[in-house]
Amino acid sequence: SGGPLVQHALVALLEMHHRGRISLEKIVEKTAHNPAILFQIKDRGYIRKGYKADLVLVNLNLPWTVKKDNILYKCGWSPFEGTTFKSRITHTFVNGVLTYENFKFPNRSIPERLTFNRS
C-alpha cells in the first residue's frame, strides 16, 4: 500500500529545485502533465481553456517543519516528520473549487470525478 508521502511529495521535489537539481518546469511536467498523459485523464494536467482548473499554489519561500499537528494522513505519521521544507503549499483547487488552504480543508466535496480517454 505504500508509505504516507502524497502530502509531502511536491514540497520534497521543490527542495531539489532549491538545491538546483530540477527546474520548476520539470516538476510541473512530472507531477501534472505526465500523470494526465500516462493515465489518459480527460481535460486535466494542463492550464488550458476547457480543462479543469486543478491548481496548487506554492510559496517557494515559506519554510515550515513537518510536525504531528500538521500531518494530514489518517495514519498520523510521516517519514518526513522533523524535516523543514523551504516551500509550502498554501492552496489547492480541484475543478476550480478551493479544497485546501493552509492545513485546512474548507470544502471536502469534489464537484466532479475524473474521467478518462480510454476506449
pLDDT tens-digit readout, 73-105: 888 899 999 999 999 999 999 999 999 999 898
pLDDT tens-digit readout, 32-81: 999 999 999 999 999 999 999 999 999 999 999 999 999 988 888 999 99
Report the predicted TM-score, pTM, of the whole model to 2 decimal places.
0.87
Given this model, what pLDDT does residue 74 score? 86
Report all structural domains of the chain as residue ranges with CATH numbers, in order of start. 6-101 (2.30.40.10)
Among 63, 43, 60, CA closest to 112: 43
SS3 for 76-110, per residue? CCCCCCCCEECCEEEEEEECCEEEEECCECCCCCC
Given this model, what pLDDT does residue 4 score? 83
Given this model, what pLDDT does residue 108 score? 78
